[in-house]
């Protein structure tokens, strides 16, 4: 049977929900106050889950120190204290919903981690709204 390990990190960012192919009126109708043209923001809590075998020599699925460093280098340094819409190439043309941010983080990390380990991303936008990818 396999074991999962989880590492929790965080970043703070501004964003605006916005579909470029719609006019402002439709963006506001669909996204409400989340589409404020001047942006709002969140403390994002990010949980990275890896699932695999426990290595018999270390007793680790993955070294949590290395995972923490990897998340910092590939994810939180990129998004922390940024405006997701304006400051990042990932969301220049992609609506920064929690669902899309989680998938982007998955794609940023997937290539960095041994393919024998399953990867799952959980992202809290607020304490009461969060997402998981893949389900």
User: Active-site residue numbers?
Assistant: 34, 81, 125
- 41: β partners: 14
Task: Measure CA 84 to chain center.
Answer: 11
- Asked if residue 78 binds a copy of itself (CB under 8 A), the reply is no
Q: Which residues contact 87 (CB under 8 A, 6 or more apart)?
A: none
22 in helix, strand or coil?
A: coil
Cα separation, 135 vs 88, in Å, equals 25
- Asked if residue 132 binds a copy of itself (CB under 8 A), the reply is yes
- Asked if residue 94 binds a copy of itself (CB under 8 A), the reply is yes
- Asked if residue 29 binds a copy of itself (CB under 8 A), the reply is no
- Asked if residue 28 binds a copy of itself (CB under 8 A), the reply is no
Provide, rounded to whole angstroms, the least separation between the CB of residue 111 and a copy of itself.
Answer: 16
Cβ atoms of 15 and 42 closer than 8 Å = yes
Residues near a copy of itself (CB under 8 A) are 1-10, 12-15, 17, 19, 21, 30-34, 36, 38-43, 51, 54, 57-61, 64-65, 80-83, 86-87, 94-100, 102-103, 118, 126-135
């Amino acid at each position: 049977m396999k074991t999962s390990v989880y590492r929790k990190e965080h970043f703070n960012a501004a964003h605006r929900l916005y579909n470029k192919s719609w006019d402002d009126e439709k963006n506001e109708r669909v996204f409400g106050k989340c589409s404020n043209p001047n942006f709002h923001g969140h403390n994002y809590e990010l949980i990275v889950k890896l699932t695999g075998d426990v290595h018999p020599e270390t007793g680790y699925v993955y070294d949590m120190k290395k995972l923490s460093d990897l998340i910092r280098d590939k994810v939180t340094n990129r998004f922390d204290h940024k405006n997701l819409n304006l400051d990042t190439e990932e969301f220049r043309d992609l609506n920064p919903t929690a669902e899309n941010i989680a998938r982007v983080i998955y794609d940023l990390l997937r290539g960095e981690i041994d393919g024998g380990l399953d990867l799952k991303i959980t992202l809290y936008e607020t304490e009461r709204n969060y997402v998981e990818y893949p389900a």
